[in-house]
């Protein structure tokens, strides 16, 4: 599929944000010398830089959303009762209405739900199939005794390959596992939509439907990673036959109907700063989830969230499925990506939902993967411009559980993640120019050496030195 320019696709004005700004937060840029000191102090890991040392913060879209006036008003309506807060019931109703799951277990964020689901649905030694891994998701699956198996289509592992639904599951890979090990060897399919690690790439409705049919035949459950399922719905509406006239809300509901439940990081799609949930259709599993939520998160009517957080979230869900909002959201991501493409800067294609991913291996062809090109690129971009991004390559991939060897992912990416409703088009221009300036001097840059490596999720806290 050919990516059209924003102008061709939407017309420049048609992705304009359907809101105006009511409150502002000052940002400023510290000097290059100060950034050099900050970067060294942070061990060349952008997760360890203080937010005040950052100019434009594209580390993540997680919990960095700007809330609406309605959500701020909702904060004042928090019912901070320990048990049975009215805000929980608002949240439960919103999830039932928009995602369609019968039962809701609230959690403090996505990984809280992943922990509970992994513990109740995986038996030691079972496979968990996923359309590419996600860091926290795979770790919880492994800690629960599962063996993660990647079943995404091959195209997803090639950053330059164009495919309208690069997040799709390769059904033949699932069938092969069933044929070789039997259906009972598979705990469940973990279906992510969109696929973060592949570049925010969507899954088609057809693929979800066919996966559902296959799994039904063998009695295998599907659990959705619904973190960016609304962004996924936008791509279905745009690219898949028969969906152009359906609303995002209709598409989301149908998509979720092909799954047995979902884990949710509400810090992404749902326009909140904190929160998550586990949605389930099976009563027995729900009861097990309720049993564990009180161990790890909090009572089953708050799960680690304050009443006001749950109110914010229930309002955020409704705002997230509005078509004009999502058009502006993805329009802004594309605007940045297309500026970079116009300048010949290598990025993952097609441009995904929540971020523009720089292809660090192509950006720094002289830096081998063992010297962390994507980590280097994130560090250099901060140094040169004050723009914060994050590594999504060999550092994020971590080590194999069985052998302790490094994974060597074929994608070595640096993610410019766009917070929702936070930055303007002028900020995107500055980011693009910053990347361009760095690209122009790219052959002068040297890689990194890891000098501290934590055991779990090393990308968060690892430290590096310049070679």
Enumerate binding residues for ligand PLP (CB under 6 A): 62, 109-111, 134, 136-137, 192, 196, 225, 227, 265, 267-268, 276
Burial class (CB in 10 A: 0-12, 13-18, 19+), 253: middle
Choose the catalytic residue: 88, 101, 134, 188. Answer: 134
Based on CB atoms, which residue is closest to ligand PLP, 233 or 367?
A: 233
Nearest to 457 by CA among 77, 134, 103: 134
- What minimum distance in Å lies between the beta carbon of 267 and ligand PLP? 5
- Considering the complex, state which of residue 273 and residue 406 has its C-beta at the smaller distance from ligand PLP: 273
Minimum CB distance to ligand PLP, residue 136 (Å): 5
82 is catalytic: yes
C-beta of 219: minimal distance to ligand PLP in Å? 26
- In whole angstroms, how close is the CB of 175 to ligand PLP at the nearest point? 25
* CB of 20 vs ligand PLP, minimal distance in Å: 29
Angstrom distances, CA of residue 109 to CA of 67, 77, 113, 126: 17, 21, 7, 25
Contact 304, 116 (CB under 8 A): no
The answer to whether 19 and 424 are in contact (CB under 8 A) is: no
Among 4, 12, 41, 82, the active-site one is 82
The answer to whether residue 194 is catalytic is no
Catalytic one of 268, 327, 329, 349: 268
* Separation CA 49–CA 54 (nearest Å): 8
Minimum CB–partner distance for residue 111 and ligand PLP (Å): 3
Task: Give the residue at shortest CB distance from ligand PLP.
Answer: 110
Active-site residue (options: 46, 64, 135, 136):
135
Residue 451 in 3-state DSSP?
strand
The answer to whether residue 135 is catalytic is yes
452 is catalytic: no
The yes-or-no answer on residue 357 being catalytic is no
Beta carbon nearer to ligand PLP, 90 or 415: 415
Instruction: Report the residue number, 85 or 137, with the smaller CB distance to ligand PLP.
Output: 137
Catalytic status, residue 459: yes
Active-site entry in 55, 127, 255, 459 = 459
| DSSP labels, 199-258 | TSB---HHHHHHHHHHHHHHT--EEEEGGGHHHHHHHHHHHSTT-TTS-HHHHHHHHHTT
Burial class (CB in 10 A: 0-12, 13-18, 19+), 441: exposed
Active site residue 47: no
Q: Do 109 and 275 touch, CB atoms closer than 8 A?
A: yes
Single out the catalytic residue among 57, 61, 225, 260: 225
Query: Which lies closer to ligand PLP via its Cβ, residue 38 or residue 390?
Result: 390
**Radius of gyration for the alpha carbons in the chain, expressed in angstroms and rounded:** 21
Which residue numbers are catalytic?
Answer: 82, 134-135, 225, 268, 392, 459
């Amino acid at each position: 599929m050919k990516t059209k320019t924003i102008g061709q696709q939407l017309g420049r004005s048609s992705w304009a944000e359907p809101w105006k700004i009511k409150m502002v937060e000052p940002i400023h840029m510290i000097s290059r010398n100060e950034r050099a000191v900050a970067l060294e102090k942070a061990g060349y890991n952008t997760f360890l830089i203080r937010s005040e040392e950052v100019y434009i913060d594209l580390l993540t879209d997680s919990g960095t959303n700007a809330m609406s006036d309605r959500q701020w008003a909702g904060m004042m309506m928090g019912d901070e009762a320990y048990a049975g807060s009215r805000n929980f019931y608002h949240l439960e109703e919103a999830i039932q209405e928009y995602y369609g799951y019968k039962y809701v277990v609230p959690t403090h964020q996505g990984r809280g739900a992943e922990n509970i689901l992994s513990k109740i649905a995986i038996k030691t030694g079972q496979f968990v199939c996923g359309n590419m891994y996600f860091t926290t998701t795979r770790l919880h699956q492994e800690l629960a005794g599962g063996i993660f198996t990647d079943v995404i289509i091959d195209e997803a592992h090639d950053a330059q390959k164009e495919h309208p639904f690069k997040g799709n599951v390769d059904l033949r890979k699932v069938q092969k596992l069933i044929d070789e090990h039997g259906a009972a060897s598979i705990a469940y399919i973990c279906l992510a939509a969109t696929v973060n690690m592949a570049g925010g790439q969507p899954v088609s409705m057809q693929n979800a439907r066919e996966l559902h049919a296959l799994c039904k035949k063998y009695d295998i459950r599907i659990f959705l990673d619904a973190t960016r399922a609304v962004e996924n719905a936008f791509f279905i509406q745009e690219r898949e036959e028969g969906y152009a006239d359906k609303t995002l809300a209709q598409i989301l509901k149908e998509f979720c109907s092909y799954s047995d439940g979902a884990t949710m990081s509400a810090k992404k799609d749902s326009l909140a700063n904190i929160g998550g949930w586990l949605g389930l259709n099976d009563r027995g599993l729900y009861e097990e989830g309720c049993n564990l939520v009180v161990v790890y998160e909090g009572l089953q009517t708050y799960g680690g969230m304050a009443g006001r957080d749950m109110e914010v979230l229930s309002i955020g869900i409704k705002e997230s499925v509005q078509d004009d909002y999502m058009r502006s959201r993805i329009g802004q991501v594309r605007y940045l990506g297309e500026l970079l493409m116009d300048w010949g800067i290598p990025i993952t294609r097609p441009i995904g939902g929540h971020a523009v991913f720089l292809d660090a291996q192509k950006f720094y062809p002289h830096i081998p993967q063992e010297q962390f090109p994507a980590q280097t690129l994130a560090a250099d971009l901060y140094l040169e411009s004050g723009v914060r991004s994050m590594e999504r390559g060999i550092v994020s991939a971590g080590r194999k559980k069985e052998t302790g060897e490094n994974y060597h992912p074929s994608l070595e990416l640096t993610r410019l993640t766009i917070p929702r409703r936070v930055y303007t088009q002028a900020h995107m221009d500055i980011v693009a120019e910053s990347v361009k300036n760095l690209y122009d001097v790219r052959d002068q840059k040297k890689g990194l050496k890891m000098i501290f490596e934590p055991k779990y999720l090393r990308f968060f806290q690892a430290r590096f030195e310049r070679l």
